[in-house]
């Protein structure tokens, strides 16, 4: 059998990819001065011409263009969109990395409601359209590292969780934020069948300390690569906490509750000796069953061309270090 090993310079696969189109459009709009809210309308002439490529028109789940403020350029290579939307963890739709893309395409994300309540002065309910209109959408190119030692670099679109929390006005007794994913066994096969859903006690729940939630890096994401989120990535709204392992970035959120004490979190409930509350990316603290010192950065090409790189403390986001001063991060993992 002949195994073809690609050299770095080789041109392979389809020459024009989704992310090429995305980057070209972003470049074009920047050159034309069309940046910021209002610029990226699907029916503007520039966008229409580019949309002729129809990057995901043939899929059952339709994403749509978003208006947002483009972020700064990334020094790192972006993970191709095709991989961002086909290699996922979303146990509600199955435990294999390919399951969510396969099983989530009929997932209904509109209408949608997110309830924000608990220890707040002004509880709030956001509807589907509010997710895209009530806050200033920005692009953030973040690394996301899974506890399973692979990572991606993704151009997320979203708004700071802080801007939402400021609107509901947390009471001084609020110390933590608890998040909950939709519970809908009719739509989510993993919630109907524990063999499909990996034995998780649904709904999926997560939590942050209030100061972590208020950090300006913490994003509520509603899109990626210029468009609304595909269901497998947590449509219509999911958390992205780039200095923590991927499992903290809870998907398809329906409830955000301000609470007084540390809330339960799904992976900690399932395997407390393997997953703590903090889950900060830390190359010095191994998972009990494998090392966390290195990671596989998912880029173009197959498994052979994926680079292995050193994992950085806090996934390289050093600006969060002050949140953990005085804590023993080996004990509070
Ligand atoms: N509701 C829910 N959220 C979830 C998960 C899940 O199974 N269910 N998996 C988590 C894990 S382990 C990871 S690594 C990230 C993956 O996000 P991505 O598929 O968008 O890359 O989602 C996180 N959020
Ligand atoms: Mo993960």
Neighbours of ion ligand 2 (CB under 5 A): 89, 146-147, 246-247
Percent over 70 (pLDDT), the chain = 83
Contact predicate 234/131, CB 8 Å: no
Residue 114 φ then ψ, to 5°: -120, 125
The answer on pLDDT for 306 being more than 90 is: no
DSSP 287: B
* 154 beta partners: 142
Distance CA 126, CA 236 (A): 12
Instruction: Decide if pLDDT at 58 tops 50.
Output: yes
Instruction: Pick the residue whose CA is nearest to atom 23 on ligand 1.
Output: 247
Q: Please say whether the beta carbons of 240 and 219 come within 8 A.
A: yes
Structure tokens at 273: 């000796």
Q: Is the CB of 181 under 6 A from ligand 1?
A: yes
Report the pLDDT value the prediction gives residue 69, as an integer from 0 to 100: 97
Q: Which residues contact 262 (CB under 8 A, 6 or more apart)?
A: 176, 207, 209, 277
Read off the tokens for 131.
């997710």
Is any ligand 1 atom within 6 A of the Cβ of residue 250?
Answer: yes
pLDDT tens digits, one per residue of 81-134: 999 999 999 999 999 999 999 999 999 999 999 999 999 999 999 999 999 999
Tokens found for residue 105: 């395409």
Half-sphere exposure of 213 (CA within 13 A, CB side): 23
pLDDT tens digits, one per residue of 8-56: 333 333 446 677 778 777 776 556 554 444 344 333 333 333 333 344 4
> The CATH number of 13-324 is which of 3.30.70.890, 3.40.1110.10, 3.40.50.700, 3.90.420.10?
3.90.420.10
> Do the strands 294-297 and 150-160 form a parallel or antiparallel pair, or are they unpaired?
parallel
- Count H helices and E strands in the chain, helices first: 10, 12
Model confidence pLDDT, tens digit, residues 162-203: 999 999 999 999 999 999 999 999 999 999 999 999 999 999
Six-digit token string for 83: 């991989």
pLDDT score of 10: 35
Q: What is the pTM of this model?
A: 0.88
């Amino acid at each position: 059998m002949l195994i073809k090993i690609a050299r770095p310079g080789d041109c392979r696969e389809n020459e024009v990819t989704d992310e090429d189109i995305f980057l070209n459009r972003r470049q074009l709009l920047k050159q034309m001065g069309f940046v910021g809210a209002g610029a990226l309308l699907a029916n503007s002439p520039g966008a229409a011409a580019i949309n002729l490529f129809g990057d995901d028109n043939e899929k059952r789940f339709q994403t749509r263009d978003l208006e947002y403020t483009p972020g700064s350029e990334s020094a790192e290579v972006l993970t191709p969109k095709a991989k961002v939307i086909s290699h996922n963890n979303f146990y509600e739709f199955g435990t294999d990395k390919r399951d969510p893309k396969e099983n989530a395409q009929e997932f209904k994300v509109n209408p949608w409601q997110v309830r924000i309540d608990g220890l707040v002065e002004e509880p709030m309910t956001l509807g589907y359209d509010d997710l895209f209109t009530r806050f200033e959408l920005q692009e953030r190119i973040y690394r996301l590292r899974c506890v399973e030692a692979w990572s991606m670099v993704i151009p997320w679109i979203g708004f700071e969780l802080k801007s939402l929390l400021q609107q509901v006005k947390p009471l001084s007794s609020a110390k933590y934020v608890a998040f909950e994913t939709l519970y809908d066994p009719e739509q989510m096969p993993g919630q109907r069948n524990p063999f499909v859903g990996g034995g998780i006690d649904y709904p999926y729940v997560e939590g942050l300390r209030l100061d972590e939630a208020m950090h300006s890096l913490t994003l509520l994401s509603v899109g990626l690569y210029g468009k609304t989120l595909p269901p497998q990535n947590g449509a219509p709204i999911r958390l992205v906490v780039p200095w923590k392992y991927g499992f903290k970035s809870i998907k398809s959120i329906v409830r955000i509750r301000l609470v007084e004490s540390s809330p339960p979190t799904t992976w900690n409930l399932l395997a407390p000796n393997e997953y703590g509350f903090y889950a900060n990316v830390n190359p010095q603290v191994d998972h009990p069953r494998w090392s966390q010192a290195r990671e596989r950065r998912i880029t173009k090409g197959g498994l052979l061309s994926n680079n292995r790189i050193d994992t950085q403390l806090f996934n390289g986001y050093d600006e969060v270090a002050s949140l953990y001063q005085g804590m023993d991060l080996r004990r509070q993992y």
